[in-house]
Amino acid sequence: MIDLHTHTLFSDGVLLPSELVYRAKFKGYTAIALTDHVDYSNYEFNIPKIVEVARVLQENYDIKVLPGVEITYVPPKLIADIVEKCRKLGAKIIVVHGETVAETVPAETNHYALKAGIDILAHPGHITKEDVLLAKENNVCLEITTRKGHNVTNKEVATLAMQCGTNLVLNTDSHTPDDLMDLKKIEKTLLEAGLYLKYFETMQKNSQNIIDKK
């Protein structure tokens, strides 16, 4: 299993990177991205530390560990700027905290994120068809999430992505060990999103393609 959206103590997750990664490995993961929340206050602090721990864990625990970020509540017009800064510091997987209906994310975050050179737009909420097409054009994957609250628009996102031919990935947005991926969560999430279970393989291939590009 591949999961490209998780949180550690470096933002609002409850586990150290080492424990999260080892627990993921134990659950059968083959790859994980550590994507803690960042804005202009903490990206310079977080990224070098996540890059270092990802390297150590990958070498010792036989699991692919990708350093990443989830750019969160950055003013939409500045997303491209912070993406560039995060890449320079070594963030491999760049996720943006999209316009989930569970929170008041700044309007147009989805649109500006999709033009900013990111890898994944997380929980994009009531995303417009124009933006789903923009995701396809710019090779950005849209996220189907197992996370409660953010997951209420999964079906809407999946339906539009299918119509437009936009790639989807399945992520957990894990904050605690119980959030990590397992078959039960995968089945439930795909069923609720109106996707066939076999579509999980396609989403995992899309995740693998993101990794292969790095």
Q: What are the residues binding Zn ion (CB under 5 A)?
A: 70, 97, 122, 173
- Comparing CB distances to Zn ion, the nearer of 12 and 201 is 12
Binning the chain into helix, strand and coil, the percentages to the nearest 5 are 50, 15, 35
- Please give the Cα distance from 106 to 104 (Å, whole number): 6
Identify the residue whose tokens are 């993406």. 83
Q: Which residue is nearest to Zn ion (CB)?
A: 97
What's the closest the beta carbon of residue 55 comes to Zn ion, in angstroms?
Answer: 22
**Nearer CB in complex with Zn ion: 92/97:** 97
Q: Tell me how long the chain is.
A: 214
Q: Compute the distance between CA of residue 129 and CA of residue 163 in angstroms, rounded to an integer.
A: 9
**Which CB, 148 or 196, lies closer to Zn ion?**
148
Kindly state the smallest distance separating residue 165's Cβ from Zn ion, in Å: 25
Question: In the bound complex, what is the minimum distance in angstroms from residue 123's beta carbon to Zn ion?
Answer: 6
Return the number of the residue (174 or 198) whose C-beta is nearest Zn ion: 174
CA 50 to chain centre: 16
Shortest Cβ 173–Zn ion spacing (Å): 4
Contact predicate 93/169, CB 8 Å: no
